[in-house]
Structure 1
Amino acid sequence: MQCPSCHSENVIKNGRIHNHKPKFACKACGRQFVENPQNRISEDKKALIDKLLLERISLAGIARVVEVSERWLQSYVNQKYKETPRKVQVKKKPKGKLVIQCDELWSFVGNKHNKQWVWLAIDQETGEIVGVFVGDRSRQGAQGLWESLPAVYRQCGVCYTDFWEAYLGVLPTQRHRAVGKETGKTSKIERFNATLRQRVSRFVRKTLSFSKKLENHIGAIWYFVHHYNETLSVAAD
């Protein structure tokens, strides 16, 4: 038995990995390894994991179903969310009258004292999510949502919101409409908020699957938003 890093033969047994395969440690360089390692995670299994991340299933549940270690799965998810684009991908819109609905969704990371508000905007006609920002519920959050919108919406969009004061001074006065729920003018974005809570486990109000890292919280939101917009495009075609 030789160390794969330094090729030293000063190797000892060092327990077992999750599937009970013996693990070894090199006393010369400290490298830990298994004999004849194999990549057990097939591309088909990764594709299945990608789909399960879009359902209301905890990472521990996915690990049990797909039969992978939670440690490997967490590393895989961390990388996937890190690589997920933080910019909306929507169909090109002609300049003209566009109508969007905006709202804020409460969430938290780590514990309920660390509130993270998810600011969202939806195209009233196409149903696409066209703006996303995660932050506090102040004017800075409203500004982040406004800046996340594609340029055509900032130039031509009429924005319907609730009466939350943070929108004032950020959205153009001549194109901002503050309305109550009874008008139905914000019903689409409110319905998407419900969808998000039902589909993504970390947004369920009483859950043990809450986010522990802000980066993954934001990545999970963007991952779902991109999938949601893609399904709308497929349905339209």
Structure 2
Amino acid sequence: MNNLSSVDRARIISALVEGNSINAISRMLGFSTNTITKLLVQMGDTCRAYHDEHVTGVAAKRVHCDEIWSFVGAKMANVNEEQIAQDWGDAWTWTALDADSKLVISYLVGQRGAAWAKVFMEDVASRLTSRVQLTTDGHRAYAESVEGAFGMDVDYAMLIKLYGSDTALDRRYSTGQCIGTQTAVLAGSQDPLHISTSYVERLNLTTRMHIRRFTRLTNAFSKKLENHEAAIALHFMHYNFCRVHKTLRVTPAMEAGLVHHVWTIEELVAILPTPIVKRRGPYKKRAE
């Protein structure tokens, strides 16, 4: 087995964070899919550990939370008990975003029940240093979990969107037309102008655009939960530290005061211990 150089690692990671599939990267760069997958998992584990250690003490004022759906292996309606034991089925990614710095404060991959909401909100609360104005959607699991994580030390409101039904259109992959919203203040006092989940919903779009596994109606979905979690950890690490936000003109981590410069892909790769992987030979030799 040969060492994969830092240059090659940077090339692979750069292609991954720009939304390319593993098979596409294999064709472009000439590495085996196993090599790319191993690097992705190692990078994901390292990014997750780095986030846990360094994305702390965030002095946010407004936080938006939401969940984005995907699946592993197959949709929940199509899996059997054996596949569920292998972590197949729906996979929800919970995210908490600082509305001012656009920093992803916390994320969690799991199911959409109350137990997962509790774990997620406790992690969000542990990373904040000040009282925040928190907004979530109308998912009921948030109500108890926010109270348990923050107590009374939060200004919390739900933004509930109301959708109309349109039988003339196929709504299989999209919701109906939004015909209005309702707000419910559950704790503290809220500035009505800032009861919103718009920024975290825009983050959901960014996530779908930059993680190939979230692309609908393709075979690019994750086949293993481990790989799915790794891709998400890498994406949010790149988003926070490497990707310059077009409005802020700095990275979210810079705006939040966590770092003082834009990370390059090489710096991102440098936090990873040198993995031992094998490079695939040229296509012509393989064909022979």
Bucket of the pairwise TM-score, normalised by the shorter protein: 0.7 to 0.9
**Inter-partner Cα distance in structure 1 for 2:24 and 2:127:** 41
Instruction: Select which of 157, 162, 172 maps to 1:177.
Output: 157
**Inter-partner Cα distance in structure 2 for 1:163 and 1:92:** 27
Taking a change above 3 Å as real, the CA distance of residues 165 and 150 of structure 1, as seen in their structure-2 partners, is closer
**Inter-partner Cα distance in structure 2 for 1:82 and 1:42:** 19
* Aligned match of 2:221: 210
- Which of structures 1 and 2 has the larger relative contact order (alpha carbons within 8 angstroms, sep 6+)? 2
Q: 1:53-95 CA deviation, whole Å, 9 max, x = no partner?
A: 102211011011011122322232232223332545437444x
Q: 1:145-199 CA deviation, whole Å, 9 max, x = no partner?
A: 1122252538622210111111111113753201135577100000000110011
* Aligned match of 2:173: none
**Inter-partner Cα distance in structure 2 for 1:50 and 1:85:** 15
Taking a change above 3 Å as real, the CA distance of residues 105 and 75 of structure 1, as seen in their structure-2 partners, is same
Instruction: Select which of 101, 106, 115 maps to 1:140.
Output: 115
**Partner of 1:208: helix, strand, or coil?**
coil
Taking a change above 3 Å as real, the CA distance of residues 81 and 93 of structure 1, as seen in their structure-2 partners, is closer
* Aligned match of 1:28: none
Compare the two structures and name the one with the higher strand fraction.
1
8 Å CA contact 1:103–1:119 kept in 2: the answer is: yes
What is the letter of the counterpart of residue 92 of structure 2? W
**Inter-partner Cα distance in structure 2 for 1:150 and 1:228:** 21
1:59 corresponds to 2:70 = no
1:90 corresponds to 2:51 = no
Identity of aligned residues (%): 30
Taking a change above 3 Å as real, the CA distance of residues 91 and 126 of structure 1, as seen in their structure-2 partners, is farther
Deviation at 1:205, TM superposition (A): 1.6
165-174 or 85-94, which deviates more = 85-94
**Partner of 2:146: helix, strand, or coil?**
coil
Taking a change above 3 Å as real, the CA distance of residues 41 and 154 of structure 1, as seen in their structure-2 partners, is closer
Within 5 Å, give how 1:41-80 maps onto structure 2: 41-80=4-43
Instruction: Select which of 93, 104, 124 maps to 1:118.
Output: 93
**Inter-partner Cα distance in structure 1 for 2:140 and 2:5:** 50
Within 5 Å, give how 1:127-206 maps onto structure 2: 127-149=102-124, 151=126, 153=128, 156-172=131-147, 174=152, 175-181=155-161, 182=181, 185-206=196-217
8 Å CA contact 1:133–1:148 kept in 2: the answer is: no
8 Å CA contact 2:159–2:196 kept in 1: the answer is: yes
What is the letter of the counterpart of residue 138 of structure 2? F
Name the TM-score, length of structure 2 as normaliser: 0.62
**Inter-partner Cα distance in structure 2 for 1:167 and 1:64:** 43
Q: Which of 1 and 2 has greater Rg?
A: 1
Taking a change above 3 Å as real, the CA distance of residues 177 and 150 of structure 1, as seen in their structure-2 partners, is closer
69-78 or 98-107, which deviates more = 69-78
Deviation at 1:225, TM superposition (A): 0.6
Name the TM-score, length of structure 1 as normaliser: 0.74
Q: 1:83-131 CA deviation, whole Å, 9 max, x = no partner?
A: 332545437444xx72100001111111112001111110011110111
**Inter-partner Cα distance in structure 1 for 2:56 and 2:119:** 21
8 Å CA contact 1:104–1:120 kept in 2: the answer is: yes
8 Å CA contact 1:121–1:131 kept in 2: the answer is: yes
Give 5+ residue unaligned stretches, structure 1: 1-36
